[in-house]
Amino acid sequence: MKHTVISIGGSILLHEEKTDYILKLAKMLAALSKEKKISIVTGGGWVARYYIKAGRSIGASEEYLDLVGIDVTRVNARLLIIALMSEGANVNIDPPHTVEEAAGLSEKHGIVVMGGTVPGHTTDAVSAMLASSLGAKVLINATAVDGVYTADPKKDRDAQQIPVMSYDELRTIIEKSGPKGAGPNVVFDPVATDIIEREKIETRIVNGLRLEELKKAITGEQFLGTLVR
Ligand code: UTP
């Protein structure tokens, strides 16, 4: 059975503390997992941002703040695991700590959910590493916007959504968004970009809050978002 790896941004997972989205998402994923093996990496979202900001203000190093972020991504993984269990999915109970462990778990579970691993990258990079480890040729990045834009759509009214782009074009946009420490938020992690380019993993960036579009991106239909290849 083919593997599909999905990176789900923490900001959409628990949107404004409402849990109806996570239940609908779990229902859709549980149904799709009957036809394909699914691996999911959950991000930290606003909860990670909240803790990282608090930690930074009281003197934590960036590396320690990465560990704080990782803890939150793992808590979000548990939340999605709970929702998937309530939908009757064959899912792992504890989020694995490494992509190797996750790849091993996917042999006995229809869906595997994990969070972050080690400091220095984001869960986008973890999902690219997992796709590489599983030999998956497609990676879905479910985020809170309709794909990649020419500029930040929140700051620039002329920003245009880009339907298809190359790995190099993605890297140029990421470089424009500048350096950063622990915590969000660039459109796609530069470490992840290097992996998807090296492994030629087609990456579909889609608004995960639009569940129909996310489903189309997973099943390979035409979707609203950005295709990177
Ligand atoms: P996220 O993957 O949520 O980061 O991890 P992000 O891309 O910045 O957030 P979204 O996608 O916009 O919601 C949260 C933070 O946890 C640390 C990083 O500091 C990251 O910014 N982290 C996460 C790691 O250090 N290693 C990991 O493997 C994962």
Q: Is 7 in the pocket of ligand 1 (CB under 6 A)?
A: no
Q: Is 98 in the pocket of ligand 1 (CB under 6 A)?
A: no
Please name the residue whose Cα sits nearest to atom 11 of ligand 1. 9
Output b/e per residue, 85-100; b: 16+ Cβ within 10 A: eebebebbeebbeebe
Model pLDDT, residue 74: 98
Determine the Cα–Cα distance for residues 92 and 163; give it in Å rounded to an integer.
Answer: 34
Determine the Cα–Cα distance for residues 100 and 91; give it in Å rounded to an integer.
Answer: 17
Q: Is 182 in the pocket of ligand 1 (CB under 6 A)?
A: yes
Q: Is 77 in the pocket of ligand 1 (CB under 6 A)?
A: no
Cα(188) to centroid(ligand 1), Å: 11
The DSSP annotation for 206-227 comes to EETTSHHHHHHHHHTS--SEEE
Contacts of 56 (CB under 8 A, 6+ apart): 65, 182
Q: Where are the domains of the chain?
A: 3-228
Model pLDDT, residue 150: 87
Determine the Cα–Cα distance for residues 182 and 122; give it in Å rounded to an integer.
Answer: 9
Q: Is 44 in the pocket of ligand 1 (CB under 6 A)?
A: yes
Ranges in the chain, pLDDT < 50: none
Contacts of 73 (CB under 8 A, 6+ apart): 10, 41, 42, 43, 44, 48, 115, 116, 123
Q: What is the pLDDT of residues 18-72, one digit of tens each?
A: 789 999 999 999 999 999 999 999 999 999 999 999 999 999 999 999 999 999 9
Q: Is 184 in the pocket of ligand 1 (CB under 6 A)?
A: yes
Model pLDDT, residue 185: 58
Is the CATH number 3.40.50.300 carried by domain 3-228?
no
Model pLDDT, residue 178: 62
pTM (2 d.p.): 0.94
Cα angle vertex 8, ends 6, 12, to 5°? 150
Quick one: DSSP state of residue 147?
S
